[in-house]
Amino acid sequence: MMQELIAQVVNGLSLGSIYVLLVTGFNLLLLVAMIIHFSYPQVVVFSMYVSWVVLRLTGDNLLLGVLAGVVSSVVINLLSAPLFQKVMQKRGEVDINATMVLSMGIGMIITDVLSHSFNEGLPVAFPDSLSSNTPIVRLGLISIQTGQVWSLGVGIVAVALFFLLLYRTRPGRAFRAIAEDPNGARLVGIPLLRTGLYSYALTGVLGGIIAVLLAMLLGSATPGLGEQVAHKVLAVSIIAGLGNLVGGLVVGLLLGVLEAIVQGYVSGSWSNAIAFVIMLVVILVRPKGLFGTRL
């Protein structure tokens, strides 16, 4: 019984680490580029598809597949950056609501492209060499698989590197300055647009890593996956407190574990509904999120 619980928690943490990475990217764009990129997960899923295509074309060359995922995610982010910046300029000042509409548009276009142009809209499966869901530990019905261990391990390393970058490097310092006070940062001579571009690039890299981890963990992708995850990422970031990076870390992991436990002990098909009911209760009690907004 105890072992089953541990396996379920590991399961949840590996899923949670993906939520954490997604929320971290979302929050960084919110804080530094000053946009609400609701459809960031769609961009990630698009990169999964690019990775899938490259894997098929190269006879499952893992290195090229991973590279394609990361590069495509960075490219999409950098291509969308001028659009976001244009929308903000046209509105005179930084207008976060207008950016949300643009983000939704990007998300819908991606979902449509995926359902029309790849595999006739059917789920795409990643090769076993990538998703490699061979169980490491098997306990009755529940097993811990290599994909889960990988996503948890890479997730921890990626988050650690991200915080190191944020607190120990020159661009990281500029990110934090803009996050705290964009006008003050401008007065000190931090270029807002260029530093914003760095945040698009960084979340692109992060998105590519997430795409690969999702492929490893799930073994497949569907056109609707991005949208489904996007709701959760937005919910997690609001529950944690918008823009609160540490909060996103905690709540992201909690959501993963919550879903895994509901799946293990109640019902797999109800895990989304139950998770959202609990989040609804939390937001009713703490409207500004568990850890407070940082905007």
Residues that bind other proteins (CB under 8 A): 170, 173-174, 176-177, 180-181, 184-191, 194
Residue 253 CB, shortest distance to other proteins, in Å, is 24
Which residue, 144 or 174, has its beta carbon nearer to other proteins?
Answer: 174
**CA-closest candidate to residue 66, choices 75, 55, 77, 57:** 55
Which residue, 193 or 266, has its beta carbon nearer to other proteins?
Answer: 193
Residue 35 CB, shortest distance to other proteins, in Å, is 21
Which residue, 56 or 176, has its beta carbon nearer to other proteins?
Answer: 176
Residue 193 CB, shortest distance to other proteins, in Å, is 9
Which residue, 83 or 177, has its beta carbon nearer to other proteins?
Answer: 177
**CA-closest candidate to residue 103, choices 80, 122, 124:** 80
**Do 80 and 106 form a contact (C-beta atoms < 8 A)?**
yes
Residue 205 CB, shortest distance to other proteins, in Å, is 22
**139 strand-pairing partners:** 142
CA distances from 267 to 3, 162, 253, 262 (A): 19, 35, 20, 6
Instruction: List, in order, residues 6 or more apart from 138 with CB less than 8 Å away.
Output: none
DSSP string computed for 8-56: HHHHHHHHHHHHHHHHHHHHHIIIII----TTHHHHHHHHHHHHHHHHH
Structure tokens given for 134: 């061979």
Which residue, 136 or 188, has its beta carbon nearer to other proteins?
Answer: 188
Which residue, 187 or 284, has its beta carbon nearer to other proteins?
Answer: 187
Residue 260 CB, shortest distance to other proteins, in Å, is 34
Residue 185 CB, shortest distance to other proteins, in Å, is 8
Instruction: Give the Cβ contact number of residue 194 at 10 Å.
Output: 10
User: How far apart are alpha carbons 18 and 106 in whole angstroms?
Assistant: 21
